[in-house]
Structures are given as C-alpha cells and as structure tokens.
C-alpha cells in the first residue's frame, strides 16, 4: 500500500527544486498538498492603526493560485484551509489517514513554537513529521560550523562559507505525482483591492512561472546581472536590482536555483564583481536565517542581541509615526521612500536603510514598530531578513556597532543627485 504523505506548503510555494515533493513523489507516495491560512502573530500594535494596502496578500494569493494550477495538472488541487496549523493538521491527518507530514523547516521564534506545538499534538498518533531545508541557499548540514559557533559578524561568516562554498544541486520537478483525493472546497481566493501604480519598481505577479521568467529576464534577456554591482543602489525602475526577493519570500523561486543559474551565467557569459555580489547578497539572506535560529526571541527584543548598557530609542508617538508612514516628515528623501512603500509594497534596499535609520536615530522611535510596519506592507516580507536588517540598522543586531546613523542629506545627494526619485513620488 503506498504511503500517504501530507505536503504542508508554507513559504515554499513551488514545485521546482522542492526536495520534499521530489522525495514523496519518488517513493510513489500518495500526496496531499495543503496550505493553511493562519493569522500571523502581531508582535506590536501599530500606533494609530494605519491602513494596510493589500499588495503583499495579493502576491501570495497569486502564488497560491499558480500552485493550485500545477496540482490540477496532476489531477489534484491544493487544499487551502483556515485555522491554527497545530490543530488543523492533526485533524486532517486523521481524516486522510496520513502517515507522514513533509515540510520545509522554518526557524524563527514563532514558527518554532508553532512546530513544537504541532509535534506535541501529533505525539501518540500514527503520523510523524519530516523536515527539509529547501529555503536557504546553503543546506545547514553543509556548513563547516555548528549553529552555536555562527560568527556574530557577517564578514566572518562569509569568509568561512566562501572557503568551501558548496550549494547542492536542484531537485527536478517530478514528472509524475500520485495525488491523494480530497473533498475540501476548491481554492477560490478573494483578492484585496489594490491599485497598480505605473511608477512601481515591482510591477510583477506572484507565482513560480513569473519568478522563473524574471530570473531568465534579469540574467539572460536584459543581461542586467552584468552590471548589478554598479546599479544595485538605484531607486527607480525594475532593473537596478534583481527584484527576486518577493518570489524568494514566498518560495516561488529557490535560492539554490538562482545560485546555479548565476554560476551558469558566469560560465556562458561573464564572471565579474556583479555576479559575485549577487551570491554575496544571497549569503546575507542565509545569514539572517541562521542568526535568528541562533538568537531566537532576542532578535525581536528592544535591545536585540546587544549587551550595551544604553538602550535604543523607545518612542511610540502616534503623530510622529503617522508622519513617517504617510511620507509627510518634511524630509523629501524619506517621504518619497515611504510613499513608494505605501503605494506599491516595495522599496529599494537603499531606501529601506535610510527610512529605518531615520525612524530610529532621528525620530527616536522604537525600531520594532518600524519593523512591524514593514512586516505588514512589504510584498517581499521575510521574517529573518526584515527583523535582522532592522535590528542591524538600530545597532542592536549582528555587528552591533554604536553608530549606525545614516546622514540622510548625504545619502540623498549621493543616490538621488538630481532629485529624480523625490520628484517621482512627491511632485
């Protein structure tokens, strides 16, 4: 009798390079693909309850819709249910007589708690869980150090990794899948109302095929990767940086797949400082995952992992927060960035650094409120990169140097010398 496996999709909404799917399909199991729509824990209440546009939700729904379509091609469909995973999964396991739940490991504090609860609820039942590591670029088992020895400084980590860089090969999309029939209602998403802004740097759709298309476009069609190192601090348009982040955050694209495509590009076109830098940035992404696994809840605390006696600012003033959110602080560079975020759900890395620094070091606000706002808005929101970068800018994260304050006027002069970005969003 074939085994019955539940594939619990979370931030891995794809069929390509999906080890759990590949494994289940190659052992001829009957697979039940499940996605659980559960409310994410809100760590902080946002002062003044600002309106949250639906860009992030829209991108996720598009990604789910495509995944559902892929499963329909295998004569099944994605089961989308609402509830608390630790309760819903055991119920589904009983109903569909599931032997094993396959899932990709997530290591943030809340996710770990949720998984702990799930394994407790499954304890004593015939169902067990098997974890895979399909989200980071480098498989944790291939690192040359144990998690507790992860350096607190990125550069030290990077050097360790680069000394024996190894990224596993991708898993092919299975050609045949035996799906387990289910009788839950078909997935019929209700999209939030959003208005597309012609100025958006992220005018893309969610889903695996759109992610793959973008990867192909950025590397092979426009050749933009060739000059990434020079353009990556840009502010306007689609091509100054890769824009892979939204697909990575939803798991529509795998970081491993990007890595191997960059290596192929290096062999077939050019290997230069730009191709190096793309992998360098993906190492940052891996690093923030590991750091959160190592430090757990500390990375969400006001003082982060800093052991200094001085605390970062703790402001929560409603009016100050509202001015920052609505892009009416009076600082044009900051205001342009915040309006871009509000109207599109995206902002360049340069802008993110500036508005975060301004929020903490000039407005004297609690960095965690800013991180919470980003969490609600960013289409590419990723718990590790968002909270890790915010803590870093606030000076309480990895490499907790005292002075992380950006000179915003200097930044505007350097990165927006003609004021084109400010005009684009403000005039």
Ligand X SMILES: Cc1cc2nc3c(=O)[nH]c(=O)nc-3n(C[C@H](O)[C@H](O)[C@H](O)COP(=O)(O)OP(=O)(O)OC[C@H]3O[C@@H](n4cnc5c(N)ncnc54)[C@H](O)[C@@H]3O)c2cc1C
Q: Is 284 in the site for ligand X (CB under 6 A)?
A: yes
Q: Site for ligand X (CB under 6 A): which residue of 132, 157, 171, 244?
A: 244
Alpha-carbon separation of residue 204 from 212, 374, 379 (angstroms) = 12, 19, 10
- The values of phi and psi at residue 363, to 5°, are -90, -10
According to the binding rule CB under 6 A, does residue 96 interact with ligand X? Answer: no
Closest to ligand X by CB, 353 vs 372, is 353
Contact call for residue 257 and ligand X (CB under 6 A): no
Any contact of residue 285 with ligand X (CB under 6 A)?
Answer: yes
Q: Which of 22, 57, 60, 243 binds ligand X (CB under 6 A)?
A: 243
CA–CA separation, 293 vs 157, rounded Å? Answer: 15
Touching ligand X, residues 183-202 (CB under 6 A)? none
Given the rule CB under 6 A, which of 160-168, 240-248, 305-313, 329-337 is the region that contacts ligand X? Answer: 240-248
Instruction: Give the per-residue contact string, 2-31, with ligand X (x = CB under 6 A; - = no).
Output: ------------------------------
Phi, psi for residue 48 in degrees, rounded to 5: 75, 5
- Do 13 and 134 touch, CB atoms closer than 8 A? no
Binders of ligand X among residues 203 to 232 (CB under 6 A) are 232
H or E element: which one contains 88? Answer: helix 85-95
Minimum Å distance from CB 242 to ligand X? 3
Minimum distance from residue 386 beta carbon to ligand X (Å):
3
What length is written for the chain? 427
- Binding positions for ligand X, 338-367, rule CB under 6 A: 348-349, 352-353, 356
**Which range, of 17-25, 72-80, 132-140, 284-292, touches ligand X by CB under 6 A?**
284-292
Residue 35: CB atoms within 10 A of its CB come to 20
Q: What is the rounded CA–CA span in Å between residue 93 and residue 100?
A: 8
85: Cα separation from own chain's centroid: 20
Residue 132 touching ligand X (CB under 6 A): no
Q: How far is the CB of 240 from ligand X (least distance, A)?
A: 8
Query: By CB under 6 A, is residue 324 in contact with ligand X?
Result: no
Q: Which of 11, 63, 121, 241 binds ligand X (CB under 6 A)?
A: 241
Q: How far apart are CA 394 and CA 313, in angstroms?
A: 9
Calpha distance 389→288 (Å, rounded): 8
> What part of residues 375-404 is at the interface with ligand X (CB under 6 A)?
378, 380-382, 385-386, 389-390, 393
Burial code (b: 16+ CB inside 10 Å, e: under 16) for 324-360 equals: bbebebebbbbbbbbbbbbbbbbbbbbbbbbbbbbbb
The CB density around residue 38, as the number of other CB atoms within 10 Å, is: 16
The footprint of ligand X (CB under 6 A) covers 232, 241-245, 248-249, 281-282, 284-285, 288, 348-349, 352-353, 356, 374, 378, 380-382, 385-386, 389-390, 393
């Amino acid at each position: 009798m074939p085994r019955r496996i539940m594939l619990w999709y979370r931030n891995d909404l794809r069929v390509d390079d999906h080890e759990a799917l590949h494994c289940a399909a190659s052992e001829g199991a009957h697979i039940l693909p499940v996605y659980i729509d559960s409310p994410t824990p809100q760590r902080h209440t946002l002062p003044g309850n600002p309106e949250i546009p639906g860009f992030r939700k829209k991108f996720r729904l598009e990604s789910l819709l495509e995944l559902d379509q892929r499963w329909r091609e295998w004569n099944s469909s994605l089961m989308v249910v609402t509830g608390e995973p630790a309760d819903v999964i055991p119920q589904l396991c009983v109903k569909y007589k599931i032997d094993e739940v396959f899932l990709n490991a997530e290591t943030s504090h809340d996710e770990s708690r949720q998984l702990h609860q799930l394994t407790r609820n499954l304890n004593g039942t015939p169902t067990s869980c098997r974890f895979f590591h399909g989200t980071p670029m480098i498989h944790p088992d291939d690192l040359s150090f144990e998690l507790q020895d992860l350096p607190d400084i990125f550069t030290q980590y990077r050097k360790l990794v680069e000394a024996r860089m190894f990224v596993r090969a991708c898993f092919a999309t299975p050609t045949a899948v035996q799906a387990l029939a289910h009788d839950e209602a078909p997935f019929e998403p209700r999209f939030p109302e959003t208005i597309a802004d012609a100025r958006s740097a992220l005018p893309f759709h969610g889903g695996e095929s759109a992610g793959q298309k973008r990867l192909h476009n950025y590397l092979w069609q426009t050749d933009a990767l060739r000059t990434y190192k020079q353009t990556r601090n840009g502010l306007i348009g689609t091509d100054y940086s890769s824009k892979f982040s939204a697909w990575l955050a939803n798991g529509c694209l795998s970081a491993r797949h990007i890595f191997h495509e960059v290596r192929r590009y290096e062999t077939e076109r050019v290997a230069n400082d730009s191709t190096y830098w793309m992998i360098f940035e993906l190492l940052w992404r891996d690093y923030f995952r590991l750091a959160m696994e190592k430090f757990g809840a500390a990375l969400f605390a006001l003082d982060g992992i800093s052991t200094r006696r001085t605390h970062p600012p703790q402001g929560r003033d409603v009016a100050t927060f509202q001015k920052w959110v609505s892009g009416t602080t009076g600082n044009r560079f900051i205001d342009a960035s915040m309006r871009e975020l509000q109207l599109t759900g995206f902002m360049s890395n340069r802008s993110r650094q500036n508005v975060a620094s301004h929020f903490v070091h000039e407005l004297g606000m609690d960095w965690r409120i800013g991180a919470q706002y980003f969490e609600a808005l960013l289409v590419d929101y990723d718990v590790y990169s968002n909270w890790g970068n915010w803590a870093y800018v606030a000076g309480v994260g990895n490499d907790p140097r005292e002075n992380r304050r950006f000179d915003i006027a200097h930044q505007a002069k350097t990165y927006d010398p003609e004021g084109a970005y400010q005009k684009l969003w403000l005039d």
